[in-house]
Amino acid sequence: MKFSESLKKNIEFKNVYNNGKSLADKNIVMYVLKNNLNKNRIGISVSKKVGNSVVRHHMTRIFREIYRINEENFEVGFDIVIICRNKALYTKFKNLVESYINLAKLHGIYKQ
């Protein structure tokens, strides 16, 4: 069962940045904003400082996969923006999953 879609427009990202709550660790920054919909909307931002387009797209796919694997454990009705930090490029997948879930728990949007 799919509970999410992507944030695509710049105005949607800016809305989450300006009105949402942010928490960070060494690998990622997570912004969360309630959207009053029956689904989550996920946006992933990877700066050019992280790497070339191949590397940035790879990191985007990794963070989408982390969300997809854990999707049923997330509360519904939020816009979530993930900003990938440079250090995430050299971090193992398992540790990225832990960072993602830990920040989601701190935001109160993870059910376990």
Domain ranges of the chain: 4-107
Residue 2 has pLDDT above 70, yes or no: no
Give the model's confidence band at 112: pLDDT under 50 very low, under 70 low, under 90 confident, else very high: confident
Alpha-carbon gap, residue 111 to 92, rounded angstroms: 24
* Average predicted confidence (pLDDT) for the chain: 93
CATH class of 4-107: alpha beta
State the alpha helices, DSSP H only, in 4-92: 10-19, 53-70
Interval 57-77: pLDDT, tens: 999 999 999 999 999 999 999
Find where tokens 């790879």 sit: 58
Residue 1 has pLDDT above 60, yes or no: no
CA–CA distances in Å: residue 84 to residues 1, 89, 95? 26, 8, 13
pTM, two decimal places: 0.92
Alpha-carbon gap, residue 70 to 48, rounded angstroms: 27
